[in-house]
Structure 1
Amino acid sequence: MSNAVLPVDPADAGQTVTVERREGPHGEVVLRRRGPHFEIIANGCFLMDTSDGRSERLLVRAALDELGERDRPRLLIGGLGVGFSLVEAAHEPRWGRITVVEREAAILDWHRTGPLSAVSGEALADTRTELVEADLVEYVHEARAAGRHFDALCLDVDNGPDWTVTEDNTGLYSPAGLAACRAALAPGGILAVWSAQPSERFEGCLRNAGFCRVRTDEIPVARGVPDVVHFAARPA
């Protein structure tokens, strides 16, 4: 699967180039190119880039492993980002419907017709893939109210439950938000949450919200401290 290592004009080698800067309802979103890689900045906070992606892929791969032999499980990916989680899901034929919820129109545009189509173009063309422009917190609550269920929720919308990009995202990790996630899962379904650092507090919140099989996996990265993925299951 591609890490979007693209040819670079020699004049831009080693330079950071702003590809697009856009104001949205949740603040500023910026797509930058640093050498052969792209990176996304939200409100001045670095979110992710195309240089690695192993933890974003594991987010989806490990969730599928946790589901065992479930037939054509339904996946909800919260946050499109640079597209690695979606690409991982589309690469795996065992997944059924793949729904991606992304609230930033700019990020959706960068994937549909912009530079990030080099990463996700094939995955977007997959007939199982559905892109939804919506706030994830609102979408999960709506799914709960409508009785829609997923077999796995893979969430990567912040730098972690203790390091949110915008204040309104804290609702996702609140007791009400976790209850909505639990209700949106089919019995035995898996919640996986990406984070830049572990959080014992969040593990406790997951247990208090009625999840079982709570654990945190560390994923080594090329530079710095390991990323982590928090896993939890809705009781069968």
Structure 2
Amino acid sequence: MSTDNIADWLPQEPRPRVVAREEARAGGELALRRDGGDYEVISNGVFLMDTRGGASERELVRAPLSALSGRDEVRVLVGGLGVGFSAREALDDPRVVRVRVVELEPAVLRWHHGPLADVAGNLPHEPRCELVCADVMEHLTAAAGAGETFDAVCMDVDNGPDWTVTEGNDRLYQPRGLELVRRVLAPDGVASWWCAAPAPGFAASLRSRFGEVAAVEVPVARGEPDVIYTART
């Protein structure tokens, strides 16, 4: 047998297939892709997240909740729903009485009623979980104006301060965004931010506005580790 076409005889890995494609509220296109047993979220052709692992998304919530040891009836605000790992981590803590998740894209919320329903334990039917379709910055502004506070505020919007895919998301990492997070934190509350790589400039901004700032690196399969920054009022 000729070896020229031997690859044609070998078992082929199934290619990822698009199971949903919708116009994004922020502009462009959002796609949900199935790759074997996992899902991937793609924005304008750029990979955003998938359902493999999710260690850093869980650490985004685990870190501030660990820092709130001894506190009961914890209220959590999560900026960005994604595949739901952060929201599920909050709900799995028995001290948490309320989780509000703010997500810009209606498509992502719809996917959690469909293909992503089982990924994070059917979040739309969790009695302690409130899913809100809104711009995170606008929601923070409204919450601060209404005097709402949360014990933990966990931001997972885009890829962090140094590489944003969606126009306008950089506002969350600038002085106005950080001030809004500080205003909606309860006394001695803890905020956290997910970043795709170390962001020393952002860390310096946090230190200029919060009392205690820390960073946790979460190893990934390839490239630089994800980083979770935490800050306390």
Alpha-carbon distance, 1:12 to partner: 9.1
Question: For this pair of structures, how many residues does the alignment match?
Answer: 222
> 1:216 touches 1:228 (CA, 8 Å); kept in 2?
yes
Give the aligned partner of residue 32 of structure 2: 31
Instruction: Name the SS of the counterpart of 1:96 in structure 2.
Output: strand
Separation in 2, partners of 1:223, 1:108: 29
In structure 2, give the amino acid aligned to 1:101. V
* Alpha-carbon displacement from aligned partner over 1:33-72 (angstroms, at most 9, x marks no partner): 1121101011222111011101111111111011121111
Give the aligned partner of residue 7 of structure 2: none
The structure where helix makes up a greater share of residues is: 1
**Structure 2: 5+ residue stretches without partners:** 1-10
Separation in 2, partners of 1:222, 1:201: 25
In structure 2, give the amino acid aligned to 1:81. G
Give the aligned partner of residue 229 of structure 1: 228
In structure 2, give the amino acid aligned to 1:163. W
Separation in 2, partners of 1:152, 1:105: 24
Give the aligned partner of residue 85 of structure 1: 86
**Structure 1: 5+ residue stretches without partners:** 1-10
**Aligned ranges 1:1-236 → 2 under 5 Å:** 13-27=13-27, 28-112=29-113, 114-208=114-208, 210-234=209-233
Instruction: Name the SS of the counterpart of 1:80 in structure 2.
Output: coil
Separation in 1, partners of 2:12, 2:26: 30
> 1:12 touches 1:35 (CA, 8 Å); kept in 2?
no
Overall identity of the aligned pairs, in %: 51
CA RMSD in angstroms comes to: 1.5
Separation in 2, partners of 1:121, 1:52: 15
- Go from structure 1 to structure 2 and tell me whether the alpha carbon gap of 1:123 and 1:25 turns closer, same or farther (over 3 Å shift): closer
* Alpha-carbon displacement from aligned partner over 1:64-113 (angstroms, at most 9, x marks no partner): 0111211111100111101111111111211121000001000000002x
Separation in 2, partners of 1:154, 1:44: 26
Separation in 2, partners of 1:177, 1:84: 23
Alpha-carbon distance, 1:24 to partner: 2.5
Instruction: Name the SS of the counterpart of 2:21 in structure 1.
Output: strand
> 2:41 touches 2:47 (CA, 8 Å); kept in 1?
yes
In structure 2, give the amino acid aligned to 1:89. A
In structure 2, give the amino acid aligned to 1:183. R
Alpha-carbon distance, 1:163 to partner: 1.1
Alpha-carbon distance, 1:18 to partner: 0.7
- TM-score by length of structure 2 reads 0.91
- Go from structure 1 to structure 2 and tell me whether the alpha carbon gap of 1:93 and 1:124 turns closer, same or farther (over 3 Å shift): farther
Separation in 2, partners of 1:104, 1:77: 14
Separation in 1, partners of 2:12, 2:130: 35
Separation in 1, partners of 2:191, 2:26: 25
Find the structure with the greater CA-based Rg: 2
Instruction: Name the SS of the counterpart of 1:186 in structure 2.
Output: strand
Alpha-carbon distance, 1:122 to partner: 3.8
Alpha-carbon distance, 1:164 to partner: 1.2
Separation in 2, partners of 1:124, 1:13: 33
